[in-house]
Amino acid sequence: MTGTSGHRRGFAPLLAAALAMLFFAWGPARADQPAGTGRVPLPVLPKATGKHCVKPTEWMRHNHMKLLFRERDLTVYKGEFIKGRSIEDCIACHVHREPDGQWPKPTSKKFFCETCHAYAAVKIDCFECHAAHPVKAPPGVGPNGGNPLPADAKPVPVGDLGAGAHELTPMPVSQGAGGGSK
Amino acid sequence: MSKQPEENTLAAPERARRRFLTQVAAVTGAALAPGMVLFEVSQARALDQPVSGKVRWGMLVDTTKCTRGCDLCVKACDKENGIHSHGRPETDSQWIRKIRLRDLHTGYVQFLPMLCQHCKYAPCVDVCPVGASFRRADGIVLVNRHICIGCRYCMMACPYKARSFVSEPLHDQVPWSPRGMGTVEACTFCVHRVDRGHKPACVDACAADGPGALVFGDMKDPGSKIAKMLAKEQSSEVRADLKLDTGVRYHGI
């Protein structure tokens, strides 16, 4: 057994040296560097239109998801909105049309969020539901209320209906008592 | 945000005018205060304040006015919330639909819109295994689609068949009504409008171009139109036997 431990003692400094070498080799690579010197090029973020973000850029880089999670719960459960901090506001400032006039797809690296997330190997699904580009609500539609239908959208007069026209929607129709599922 | 000029930079007449306006406002406020509340003021909520249980949003459907052949409420809902058909009616999302009721004995036929009834004791909230189905303090029943796992228990529990499951990827959703694959959705009472003091899209469309069969408002505010009509007219819940205390009530069924 003593022979074995002596063997171990002999290897300990070597191992430490190897670890130190690994640290010095990898350490600086992990820190932010100007693009081009690392193995993976750093993302180039599209410039935002606003003057400044809701928090300093460095803070946002590390904590934006905590902010988003906290405030989405405030909005969903309590109906509270913090001015300038909804996901719509983020999009309005950070997403711009491409030179060809198209909006970048949320899965494209030209999309603000995806630029960094591709680099950091983070996958998000925000934009499977949320709109990924600013949308201006037409009159009557959206948060400002009003009649969303165009002015000429009049109901069909009863006289025009042929037989069976009462099937207004193709969903199963309740026949008096009980549901009508097929 | 518009910039307000600083008080000390204003010319003397402007300062005097502002003082006068402030005093007038104070006096008017005092005169209004005892027992007299402006209708709109009583409904408005600052968006940075949480919703309150002092409000309960509700809808009264006058089925005697709801006409055959009219689907303005359905169209308005689809347009407002960006709901598009996939060409498969059995599985397309429906937040509101028109229903035909026929009395089996007399043959009397009537029509009514069926939507999420925003129950006080909502079965969908009871059965949700992850707490995604919830009822907001102001009575609006919603799905938190951030945590919905798409199990569809709520759809089975709902006696009104009010909920839909999104089974296909969606594109071009509208920002005020996020919807997505793998989650359950239903009428939100157009919560994005209601939060800003407006009425749901179906109600506005029915009032503007249709028969005006839908009344929306705060059922707990005795001065609101809906509370007055509920106190005056007969109305009932669909499946009242379930004692769910629905937020949507029907007149004439």
Our CA-based measurement puts residue A151 at a distance from the nearest CA of chain B, in whole angstroms, of 8
For chain A, the domains span: 47-138
pLDDT at B234: 95
3-state SS assignment for residue A50: coil
Regions of chain B where pLDDT drops below 70: 1-44
Q: Check residue A113 and give its pLDDT.
A: 95
Is residue A148's pLDDT more than 60?
A: yes
Looking at beta carbons, which residues of chain A come within 8 Å of B100? Answer: 166-168, 173-174
Q: Do A141 and B174 touch (CB under 8 A)?
A: yes
pLDDT at B23: 54
Residue A5 pLDDT > 80: no
- pLDDT value at position B19? 58
Do B174 and A155 count as a contact with CB atoms less than 8 A apart?
no
Contact B199 A170 (CB under 8 A): no
Report the pLDDT averaged over residues A148-168. 60
pLDDT value for A15: 54
Within 13 Å, how many C-alpha atoms sit on residue B72's CB side? 30
**Statement: residue A144 has pLDDT above 90:** yes
Domain ranges of chain B: 57-251
CATH topology for B57-251 is Alpha-Beta Plaits (3.30.70)
Read out DSSP for B88-149?
-TTTS--SEEEEEEE-TTT--EEEEEEE----TT-HHHHH-SSS-EEE-TTS-EEE-TTT--
> Do B89 and A170 lie within an 8 Å CB cutoff?
yes
User: Radius of gyration (Cα) for chain A, nearest Å?
Assistant: 29
pLDDT at A13: 59
**Helix and strand counts by DSSP (H, E) for chain A:** 4, 0
Question: Given this model, what pLDDT does residue B43 score?
Answer: 53
What are the structure tokens assigned to A70, written together?
């906290």
For residues A18 and A176, the model is more confident at: A18
**Residues of chain B contacting A130 with CB distance shorter than 8 Å:** 173, 175, 178
The pLDDT value recorded for residue A44 is 87
pLDDT at A2: 43
> Does the pLDDT at position A156 exceed 70?
no
- Which of A93-107, A148-162, B64-78 shows the lowest per-residue confidence on average (mean pLDDT)? A148-162
pLDDT score at A31: 46
* Both tokens assigned to B52: 């309150």
The pLDDT, as a whole number, for residue A158 is: 55
